[in-house]
Amino acid sequence: MMSDLPDSGKTLIPNNIPPNVDSKSDQHSLLLEELARLKRWIYALACVVGIGTVILIIVISVLYGNLSYQLEHHSHAPKVGEQISKMLDRENEELCVTCDSLRLGPSIEEDKLLDKFTRKDDPEGEQCCVENPKQLLSMLNLFIERRYREEMAKGNIKLSNEDVSSDRENSPAAHLMGNIEKDMQDTAPGKQLLISKWIYDADLGFTQKVGYQYGRLVVPSTGLYFIYSQVSFLEMLDIAKQGESKPQSTASSSLSHYLYRYNIIYPRGGEETLIQNSITKCLGNNKAFGEYTSYLGAVFKLRQGDEIFVKVSNLTLLTKDPKSNYFGMFKIN
């Protein structure tokens, strides 16, 4: 029994009690003092937190009240808006720029983007003018988009993340199929008319690492490309009394087929003819129709941002078969 009791020669003293404190009463008093001191610290900390919270609430209330007052009694426009308003409220001046400095491409759809502005003829070129902030925002958007394309064409912005070591199966390529619609038809003789609609994401049509916009293929990186296109024309003929066939219209006696490239940074409007072909119509006796096919294909060194497209001399005579009219490209190095 005696072996379970602690050694009478050793005194158990708490760690926080000095060794010179021997009596139990002194130990108890010291613990009470430590507890009282701890309570005072807690009360002081609580008071500081409470006072800080009150001060924070007061500051937030003052700021909120000041902001509400300013919003209710705000009598002037923001600085930027005020400057724009002054610029637009000028009586004798207009904010106008040349339409060519906003134009993004040669298609009809892109020309219609400029209809948002007031278009005026000018000896220095057609002017696009703004009359309200909405038009100004549209003008800024076109400026930014045009600037982006210019920097991309100069090589300052990379259009594709193409890996040089990638295999040919993943190299840039595209094949488009004809999508001739009534609103594309035009019979004006002597004109070069852009085919602005192709099937690029259905049937056999596809684009791989090549951009597509408004009937144009966008070159993703500088290099050698094979470009090709075929168009088929079909013209119904009237048979005269003497058996001689005559076209139903007074259109030109020839048909033309062109491959073009466009880039904002190029001169003369940015367009350049790459290759072309012309077909002379053959009007024989007792012919009910005339059918003509043109194929173009060649290798070109293209730069990043070049936009390739097809033009013809007559959209009305193009056949409606998607597989008779096609256009594509692929990179060969």
Same-domain pairing of 125 and 244: no
Same-domain pairing of 176 and 283: yes
Same-domain pairing of 143 and 187: no
Q: Range of 103's domain?
A: 85-153
> What CATH number does the domain containing 208 carry?
2.60.120.40
Same-domain pairing of 91 and 178: no
Instruction: Determine the pLDDT at residue 148.
Output: 87
Same-domain pairing of 113 and 248: no
Instruction: Determine the pLDDT at residue 239.
Output: 63
Q: What is the pTM of this model?
A: 0.62
Same-domain pairing of 202 and 310: yes
Same-domain pairing of 133 and 282: no
Give me the average pLDDT of each 10-residue run along the chain (333 residues): 47 51 73 86 88 87 76 54 54 77 86 90 89 88 88 76 58 91 57 90 91 93 95 80 53 86 88 92 72 94 94 91 93 87
Packed helices 133-153 and 79-88: angle between N→C axes, nearest 10 degrees: 100
Same-domain pairing of 239 and 317: yes
6 lies in some domain: no
217 lies in some domain: yes
Same-domain pairing of 101 and 216: no
Domain termination residue (choose one: 103, 120, 153): 153
Same-domain pairing of 133 and 178: no
The whole-angstrom separation of Cα 325 and Cα 234 is 12
Instruction: Determine the pLDDT at residue 226.
Output: 97
Q: In this structure, are residues 152 and 305 in contact, taking their beta carbons and an 8 Å threshold?
A: yes
7 lies in some domain: no
Domains: count for the chain: 2
Domain termination residue (choose one: 108, 126, 153): 153
3-state secondary structure labels for all residues of the chain: CHHHCCCCCCCCCCCCCCCCCCCHHHHHHHHHHHHHHHHHHHHHHHHHHHHHHHHHHHHHHHHHHHHHHHHHCCCCCCHHHHHHHHHHCCCCCCEEEEHHHCCCCCCHHHHHHHHHCEEECCCCCCEEEECCHHHHHHHHHHHHHHHHHHHHHCCCCCCCCCCCCCCHHHCCEEEEEECCCHHHCCCCCCCCEECCCEECCCCCCEEECCEEECCEEECCCCEEEEEEEEEEEEEEEEECCCCEEEECCCCCCEEEEEEEEECCCCCHHHEEEEEEEEEECCCCECCCEEEEEEEEEEEEEECCCCEEEEEECCCCCECCCCCCCEEEEEECC
State pLDDT tens for residues 35-49. Answer: 888 888 898 888 888
Instruction: Determine the pLDDT at residue 93.
Output: 62
Same-domain pairing of 148 and 179: no
Instruction: Determine the pLDDT at residue 287.
Output: 67
255 lies in some domain: yes
Same-domain pairing of 233 and 92: no
In sequence order, the 6+-apart residues with CB closer than 8 A to the CB of 120 are 96, 126, 127, 129
124 lies in some domain: yes
Degrees to nearest 5, angle at CA 290 with 285 and 292: 135
Instruction: Determine the pLDDT at residue 134.
Output: 87
Instruction: Determine the pLDDT at residue 227.
Output: 97
